[in-house]
Chains A and B, each alone.
Chain A
Amino acid sequence: MLSVKELSIQFGGLKAVDGVSFDVNPGEIFTIIGPNGAGKTTVFNLLSRIYEPTAGEMSFNGTSLLDIPAHGIAGIGIARTFQNIELFDHATVLQNLLVGRTCHGKTSFVEDLFFLPHVKQAERKHRRAVEETIDFLELAPYRDQMVANLPYGVRKIVEIGRALATQPDLLLLDEPASGLSSEETSDLAFWVSDIRKILGITVLMVEHDMSLVRRVSDRVLAMSEGRSLAMGTVEEVTSDEKVISAYLGAAS
């Protein structure tokens, strides 16, 4: 589904990502782990075209991502969340989720300004789609609240909701469990597996919390200093010597 080949990016002299390759198969939950500064988030930023790679190939369902601008990524079915929540703070949860519908059924701005009947139709349709997401993530109590007034844990879920509202084929989750309590994390584990099971969405995730990774991941890629160290099931990767030394900093 998603295939990344020899992806590299350089900031000045620093090789943040250096020749990383992996494939994500339809219907799986794929996790990237690694110590801080390993380049995991950079991979995400490359996938969502915020950074321009210095070398390498990325393709999604056969189309090369390099041909698509950053604002076109949502349109081909890739949605993402951010490590430090990037919600629209001074808008309600409902409005946030509705922004997720931007890439579906575009109405022109003139139609929007005059609110022509078919804009109204589109609004109903968007609302119905968003309500499904709200039901799915149990966000109904917060529907009309400003995001700025919500607790951190809820905001994390709202951000996942906004990504789901784009109805993606592939969901990129950037550290979904960071800053959550252990209860919230275990809720999250259910949701992530439900996203795959019920909605049929493939998930690519960056995560530190190994308990979450163990519970949901099919395959894991371990990265360190921009390079990929090991790929395989959770057990294979966590028992890999290179991975252990990267985490513990043991002299090789």
Chain B
Amino acid sequence: MGGHVLEAMLEALTPFLTQDWIAVFNDLPQIIVAGLATGFQYALIAFGFVLIYRATETVNFAQGDIMMLAMFVGLGLQALGAPWYFVMIGAIILVGLFGAGLDLLVFRHMAGQSPLATVIITIAIGFVLRLGVDAVTYFMQGKFPQEESLSPPDLGDQISILGVSIDPFDILLIAGALIVVIGLFFFLSRTRMGIAIQASSQNQLAAYYQGINVRSLNTLVWTLAAAISAFAGILFAMSKTFTSSVGLSLTGGIMAYAAAVIGGLGSLQGAVLAALMLGVVDNFVKTLSGVHPLISANAGLIFLLIVIIVKPSGLFSQTQAKKV
């Protein structure tokens, strides 16, 4: 038994010894850029999750499925013949309204219930969304959704900067993510409304008494979070294929949740940083040759598990022991 373990460990290490490190090093800038693009994609999905947690202390496991909904809304708009920017704007508006509806119909009434019940409601909503999209697609087309994708905008050929070639779409993605994160950061920490949101998250009842309209603020937050997710989802759908389970898949939602958690729940910067690390690690290990397929295909997953086990409080922790 012990021999087997040793053998397996040696086998796992061999690829690192036999690797052509010089070639890997030469490719490094390219790998990092590709990783950053993936990372920003994860970060964008994570923002909605972080925003809702930050503003309402609700852990929203439906965020990935809201993103998935946006993708399918986009698909529907595209089928109607809308150009890519209309697809994007339409999905953002419609799904944003859906987010507002969720708050008005469900989460508004959950105030004062235990956080556990709220978490489970979000899980159930995600579940309903996912199966609902399946059922609606089946209703419209007579078959369940397969691997779908949105046609990306035609932004010209690869651009080469300092010997690294970048897809213009990736630039759009990175720029979009940066705008969202900077905008959110300023909104939360520099505007009156943002500060009111933070206050209401820290103590709902006290915020009510202070005359903050917690209810409409929460509706705003849900709208915003859903819209951000829709933006992320449309960008995702234009660059990769997706199914109706993307909201909780290894290439989509889960990576975003995990990035938000190891970034220290509730921290925007943490989420970005964790997502970028995740993207780079994932791309880096994929390019190594001879690694066991279990590891190379799930490098990001393994990275996340290791970080969580080593530092469960996250890289930029905001949660501390409750004050008594």
- CB closest residue in chain B, given A90: B114
Would you call A45 an interface residue if the criterion is a C-beta within 8 Å of the partner chain's C-beta atoms? yes
Would you call B324 an interface residue if the criterion is a C-beta within 8 Å of the partner chain's C-beta atoms? yes
Would you call B9 an interface residue if the criterion is a C-beta within 8 Å of the partner chain's C-beta atoms? no
Interface residues of A (CB under 8 A from B): 41, 45, 50, 82-84, 86
Q: Mark B283-324, 1 if CB is under 8 A from A, else 0.
A: 000000000000000000000000000000000000001001
Tell me how many residues of B have a C-beta within 8 Å of chain A. Answer: 2
- CB closest residue in chain B, given A89: B114
A82 to B324, alpha carbons, bound, how many Å?
7
Closest Cβ–Cβ distance, residue A206 to chain B (whole Å): 12
- CB closest residue in chain B, given A80: B324
A41 to B324, alpha carbons, bound, how many Å?
8
A45 to B323, alpha carbons, bound, how many Å?
9
A83 to B321, alpha carbons, bound, how many Å?
16
Closest Cβ–Cβ distance, residue A58 to chain B (whole Å): 18
Q: Mark B225-267, 1 if CB is under 8 A from A, else 0.
A: 0000000000000000000000000000000000000000000
A50 to B321, alpha carbons, bound, how many Å?
9
A45 to B324, alpha carbons, bound, how many Å?
8
Contacting residues, chain A, for B324 (C-beta < 8 A): 41, 45, 50, 82-84, 86
A86 to B324, alpha carbons, bound, how many Å?
8
Contacting residues, chain B, for A86 (C-beta < 8 A): 324
- CB closest residue in chain B, given A83: B324
Closest Cβ–Cβ distance, residue A155 to chain B (whole Å): 15
Contacting residues, chain B, for A83 (C-beta < 8 A): 324
Closest Cβ–Cβ distance, residue A70 to chain B (whole Å): 10
A83 to B324, alpha carbons, bound, how many Å?
7
A86 to B321, alpha carbons, bound, how many Å?
14
A84 to B322, alpha carbons, bound, how many Å?
12
Q: A41-B324, A50-B324, A84-B324 are in contact. List 5 more A-B contacts (CB 8 A).
A: A45-B324, A50-B321, A82-B324, A83-B324, A86-B324
A45 to B321, alpha carbons, bound, how many Å?
12
- CB closest residue in chain A, given B114: A90
Closest Cβ–Cβ distance, residue B324 to chain A (whole Å): 5
Contacting residues, chain B, for A50 (C-beta < 8 A): 321, 324
Closest Cβ–Cβ distance, residue B107 to chain A (whole Å): 23
8 pairs of residues in contact across A and B, judged by CB atoms under 8 Å = A41-B324, A45-B324, A50-B321, A50-B324, A82-B324, A83-B324, A84-B324, A86-B324
- CB closest residue in chain B, given A82: B324
Contacting residues, chain B, for A45 (C-beta < 8 A): 324
Contacting residues, chain B, for A84 (C-beta < 8 A): 324
A50 to B320, alpha carbons, bound, how many Å?
12
Closest Cβ–Cβ distance, residue B321 to chain A (whole Å): 7
